[in-house]
Structure 1
Amino acid sequence: MARRRQSVTIKHVAADAGVSLQTVSRVINKEPNVRPEMMLRVQEAITRLGYVPSIAAQRMGGSRSHLIVSLNDRDRTIADWRDRQGVDWVGQMLLGGMLTCAEHGYRLIIELVDTHSDHIERELLAAIAALQPDGVILTPPHSENPLITNLLAEQCISFARIGSLKSGPGFAMTMDDERAARIATEHLLALGHRQIGFIAGPAEYELSGWRVDGWRQAMAAVGCDTVGLLAQGDFGHESGRVGAAVLLDGAVPPTAIIASNDRMALATLDVARTLGLDVPGDLSLISFDDTPMVHFTHPPLTAISQPIAEVTARAVELIIADQTGQETPDAPIVVPATLIVRNSTTVPRESK
């Protein structure tokens, strides 16, 4: 059996540069109080030996691990992966988080935790003990779970709460879902629609309520009633089918529907076709998320594009700033979503 090639370690660098292990670690971690001539010697040794710093080496001489962990909901994430329907929340998180971590010499790790588990505290403490992260990024519904946020605060771990503006520890972050729903509704109102239905996400997600609020605000601003135009979904395809069927079977069917995620929007598109409705001729349709699958439907869907990569990158920057003693904002961080107009919205048929 062939022997594994011995890699260059921090000990080799220290011996080559003629300095202590702690000095090499301080140079790797870009810590202050290293004399310029010592820094140069270590950097030259690193280049000469082709050394690549390991996490273990980065931890020497200091308490930082240079690891940031993103906690995602286990059941929903695994279901998305198994369905293979183009849901790219995790992919966009990795894009923003990993690239930003790399710029600062950090690593990003994804951990899946069941927020409804009776053993969530034990799971989380085990992950913290094994990884010793410098920071944690929480996504919904973890970002709204006080058991998780309080535990992280007690452990003195920096963390960001994406999709939660509730008071409490951690950096509160939002993609301004209320405004996003409002501009989606305003787009339809500007086309002449007045019967605009909305399929909401699950109540356990704080952002679901924000989106409903934004839709209602835009409708109220032009004197439009929303009675009978709200359906409850759970982000799943079947709930979207049920919600769309309820709305389109109402006494005054909507001429447009906003679905609170792409799966429910695709379900609405299926229901409309089953009923013989043309999209957008008979029914305009807007989705949230803007995942790849809505780009290639017929017609391509107008959608709210959520800046997941950007908000994750900002979360990494806040955690690193907090770890390195830099000033961080107290107010919630807003990274706004945008509306991408495609071919699934047009003026209502009676206005043509």
Structure 2
Amino acid sequence: MTVSRVINGDPGVRDETRETVNATIRALNYTPNLSARSLVTARELRIGVIYANPSAAFMSGFLAGVFEEASARAAQLILLKGKNGGVPTHAEIEQLIGSGIGGVILTPPLGESAEVRQILRAAGLPMAVVAGRVPDAISVGIDDQRAAHDMTRHLIALGHRRLGFIVGNPNQSASIARLAGFTAAAQAAGAEIRVAQGDFSYTSGLVAGEQLLDAAVPPTAILASNDDMAAAVVSVAHRRNLNVPGDLSVAGIDDSTAATTLWPPLTTIRQPLQELAGEALRLLIDDMRAAPGKGGQCIARVLDHALVTRESAAPPRACATSPDAARAVDRQ
């Protein structure tokens, strides 16, 4: 009780006792577990949100979902953004921890940053990672490999046999899984494959799109790892006076606002970003309340994705694949 009074600045402690307690605190390098204190006293739920995602469309969907769930749970969100899309400094993360948060949500690519998670784990904070897969925190996402596999089979069903793929950020598990899904489906169909590297940003999609279309025999269809890069490919095609989808089919993953605000609208995989964010926050809060200050559980939750067909993908000009045949291949 005396230590508690000293830590909380209670004036009813003798100076000699206060100095003894403070000296012991310094010797032990002790810092109060603010997450446990805030939860035990049940004053409020304070959640840190650390993000540095280059995709504005992704962040829009994510924030809409996390804000809605936070409002329903009466939770306070404290945002920390990495400068210029980078990882926040150690000091910035420590400052966030010191604000009294009880848990943290991490967006890609920070969710898979071992450095960031180590700092949070050392502070005893539970974590939830959205659109990523890690062994030491709550993870909520879709089956990325299956999603890319489904879209690739759709393009194959339309008659495409020269396929291009734009990989996302190489430091994210979703990028590796989506490339694996694309490759497996394309190789099973005997398709010709070309791959270009991106990082999920629109700018990287422009560069990758140019690389794929500069090939002597370019792809007739390009699948990008997200909608931002797919939108960039459509822009590159227009600059080259290529008709989409007549000369080139383009598809993405996310079903973000970018999918429906460009022309033609994107055929894409719907990743339910708002639901992912809301589920991650719900699981995190439940974990915080169940075991305050214990560092959190490791839960993997996979939500369903859906293939959304729009005007950006069609059979190649030389292909006579019928709609019935395409549907038959998609069902396999």
Give the TM-score band, short-chain normalised: 0.7 to 0.9
Q: Is the 8 A contact 1:100 1:313 kept in 2?
A: yes
- Say which SS state the counterpart of residue 272 (structure 1) adopts: helix
- Counterpart in the other structure of 2:95: 126
Residue from 286, 292, 297 that aligns with 2:257: 292
Cα shift at 1:171: 0.8
Residue from 154, 161, 177 that aligns with 2:144: 177
- Counterpart in the other structure of 1:109: 78
- Counterpart in the other structure of 2:284: 319
Distance 1:296 1:237 in 2: 14
Residue from 165, 179, 182 that aligns with 1:212: 179
Distance 2:263 2:132 in 1: 34
Residue from 195, 207, 211 that aligns with 1:242: 207
Distance 1:155 1:63 in 2: 20
- Counterpart in the other structure of 1:301: 266
- Say which SS state the counterpart of residue 101 (structure 1) adopts: helix
TM-aligned CA distance change 1:164 to 1:292, over 3 Å: closer
- Counterpart in the other structure of 1:32: none
TM-score normalized with structure 2 length: 0.77
Residue from 32, 46, 55 that aligns with 1:67: 46
Cα shift at 1:259: 1.5
Residues 1:275 and 2:240 aligned together:
yes
Identity of aligned residues (%): 34
Cα shift at 1:190: 1.1
Distance 2:86 2:232 in 1: 27
Cα shift at 1:234: 2.4
- Say which SS state the counterpart of residue 269 (structure 2) adopts: strand
TM-score normalized with structure 1 length: 0.72
Cα shift at 1:338: 2.1
Q: Is the 8 A contact 2:164 2:223 kept in 1?
A: yes
Per-residue CA shift, 1:255-309, capped at 9, x if unaligned?
1001222332222112222322211111111022322233132211112222111
Q: Unaligned 5+ residue runs, structure 1?
A: 1-57, 81-86
Cα shift at 1:63: 6.1
* Partner AA of 1:164 in structure 2: G
| Pairwise CA RMSD | 2.4
- Counterpart in the other structure of 1:161: 129
Q: Is the 8 A contact 1:64 1:134 kept in 2?
A: no
1:20-169 aligned at under 5 Å gives the runs 59=38, 62=41, 65-73=44-52, 76=53, 87-114=56-83, 116=86, 120-130=89-99, 132-167=100-135, 169=136
- Say which SS state the counterpart of residue 324 (structure 1) adopts: helix
TM-aligned CA distance change 1:331 to 1:160, over 3 Å: closer
- Say which SS state the counterpart of residue 349 (structure 1) adopts: coil
- Counterpart in the other structure of 1:83: none
Deviates more, 1:208-217 or 1:87-96: 87-96
TM-aligned CA distance change 1:133 to 1:259, over 3 Å: same
Cα shift at 1:129: 0.5
* Partner AA of 2:48 in structure 1: V
Q: Is the 8 A contact 2:39 2:289 kept in 1?
A: no
Q: Is the 8 A contact 2:203 2:232 kept in 1?
A: yes
Distance 2:130 2:40 in 1: 32
Cα shift at 1:330: 4.7
Q: Is the 8 A contact 1:294 1:300 kept in 2?
A: yes
* Partner AA of 2:153 in structure 1: E
Higher relative contact order (CA 8 A, sep 6+): 2
Cα shift at 1:195: 0.9
Distance 1:64 1:312 in 2: 24
Cα shift at 1:211: 1.2
Cα shift at 1:200: 1.3
Q: Is the 8 A contact 1:65 1:133 kept in 2?
A: no
Distance 1:166 1:275 in 2: 41
Residue from 165, 172, 180 that aligns with 1:198: 165
- Say which SS state the counterpart of residue 265 (structure 2) adopts: coil
Q: Is the 8 A contact 2:163 2:192 kept in 1?
A: no
* Partner AA of 1:199 in structure 2: I
- Counterpart in the other structure of 2:318: 350
Distance 2:226 2:124 in 1: 35
Number of aligned residues: 279
Cα shift at 1:225: 4.0
Cα shift at 1:61: 6.4
Distance 1:66 1:329 in 2: 18
Distance 1:164 1:237 in 2: 20
Cα shift at 1:166: 3.2
